[in-house]
A and B are shown apart, each in its own frame.
Chain A
Amino acid sequence: MSRSEAALSPAPPPPAAQRLAYIVDDDRDMRMSLRMLLQEDAIDARPFLSAADFLDALPELKPGPVLLDVRMPVMDGIALLEALTERGVRWPVIMMTGHAEVPLAVRAMKLGALDFLEKPFPYEEVSALMARAFELVDAQARQGGDAREKLELLTARERQILDAVARGMSNKEIAGELDLSHRTVEMHRGRMMRRLGARRISEIIALVSGAEH
């Protein structure tokens, strides 16, 4: 295949063995049956019996959908969702619960959960949901890659200013911290925005957070 053809054809889907997901549920039977069912779709689901276990393992885990039980002792599903949000983890989280009451659902959606599965759920529902969750994981990975490529175009000084802008610092504060004149900061900032093709600070923040994933 020629180089140009390679660039035009879509990236091949990753081998089935790489489809990784996580189950966090204190109910052993639930973990086992979900794990077996997901295997049918060639999804390797790692089981965790508590929120704390999952958080401990988190730094070593690759991005993947999380099937998360709402009702668990000590740290429940909502508390884990909060912990993930605080750590900037934006993986698709699917909450599992007996009954999704409106206040609970609203809380979970605000914390970035993707969906609710009301127990008992038919397997087809999980299967369809997981397929869409993996699409999101792939899209996030692509965006992360694009963002990293863009950031590599910046000079060291522009990168410094970008990080300060993303932290919410004003031009004046940046000038003070980097010991530069206000005008110089403005100039670097303008050049940085143009290089990134960004018009607003919110786009810069989205780009930086995208590159971190």
Chain B
Amino acid sequence: MAEPDAPRPVERKFPVRAMGDVLIVRKRAQELAIQFGLGGRRATELAIAVSELATNIVKYGIQGEVVVILDSEAGARGGIRVVARDEGPPIRNLEVALQDGCDDTGPIDPTLVLRRGGLGTGLGAVLRFADLFEYQQGETGKAITVTFFR
């Protein structure tokens, strides 16, 4: 008997243009993660990562989207991939941008933290929470893909 076809990954796309969209996408991502079988804490961590990525789209991307993919084939027990894609300029220096208290040019002046509305720890948090972190950039924009295994 032939192997039954693997279920196709479920894909949900969320456009991200304003802070209101960030609230929607992180809430939906959290709900999807819980439905998919992630624990409450892990689902909250995923929601925080989604929130950081989507906030960066609003801050630095011209326009973008967050795609949440529920893939039962990922890893040993399945996983959730989150792709944050935007048409903004590429990250100038990813290694620096991933450091806490930095944007992609270097450390953020503490007196500017409030005016910037951020601590510069967003990407660091994403990196800490996610099991896999990938960055791609092309002519039309950039994408960060993170995976949370079940």
A-B complex is real: no
